[in-house]
Structure 1
Amino acid sequence: MAAREITDRIADLIDEEHRLRTGALHHGGLTPGERLRLKDLERQLDAAVDLLHRRQALSVFDDDRDGG
């Protein structure tokens, strides 16, 4: 997965998380299903951010090897 795809995925996850949290504010909380979905979104978001950080670190090391 390319860095652009990862950042797009992160944006999609954040958008869905925001919709859930905003809906919860307007409707008095989350349903059990929404709570499960929010936990899943948080897990996926953490994984995507970790992947993006790894990709960025690898690109720095690749640049160092090319220039050195």
Structure 2
Amino acid sequence: MAGHEITDRIADLIDEEHRLRSEALHHGGLTPEQRVQLKDLERQLDAAVELLHRRQALSAFDDD
């Protein structure tokens, strides 16, 4: 996965997280299914950010 694909994926995950949190505000909270979905989104987001950091670190070392 290229760097821009990772950042695009991160943006998509953030958009989905914001959508879920906005729904929760307007509907009195999250359903149990939405809670599971939010936890999964958070896990995916953490993994994507970690991957991006690793890619950036490798790129910095490759330039030296």
TM-score of the superposition, structure 2-length normalised? 1.00
What is the DSSP-based 3-state SS (H/G/I as helix, E as strand, rest coil) of the residue aligned with 1:29? Answer: coil
- The Cα offsets for residues 24-57 of structure 1, whole Å up to 9 and x where unpaired, read as 0000000000000000000000000000000000
* Residue-pair matches, total: 64
Unaligned runs of 5+ in 1: none
Q: 2:6 is matched with which residue?
A: 6
After TM superposition, give the deviation of residue 5 of structure 1 in Å: 0.1
Q: Distance in 2 between matches of 1:34 and 1:16?
A: 11
Q: Distance in 2 between matches of 1:15 and 1:60?
A: 29
Q: Distance in 1 between matches of 2:18 and 2:3?
A: 22
Matched letter for residue 35 of structure 1: R
Identity of matched residues, %:
84
Matched letter for residue 39 of structure 2: K
Superposed, 1:1-68 pairs within 5 Å as 1-64=1-64
What is the DSSP-based 3-state SS (H/G/I as helix, E as strand, rest coil) of the residue aligned with 2:30? Answer: coil
Where do 4+ consecutive residues of structure 1 move more than 4 Å? none
Q: Distance in 2 between matches of 1:24 and 1:36?
A: 13
What is the DSSP-based 3-state SS (H/G/I as helix, E as strand, rest coil) of the residue aligned with 1:30? Answer: coil
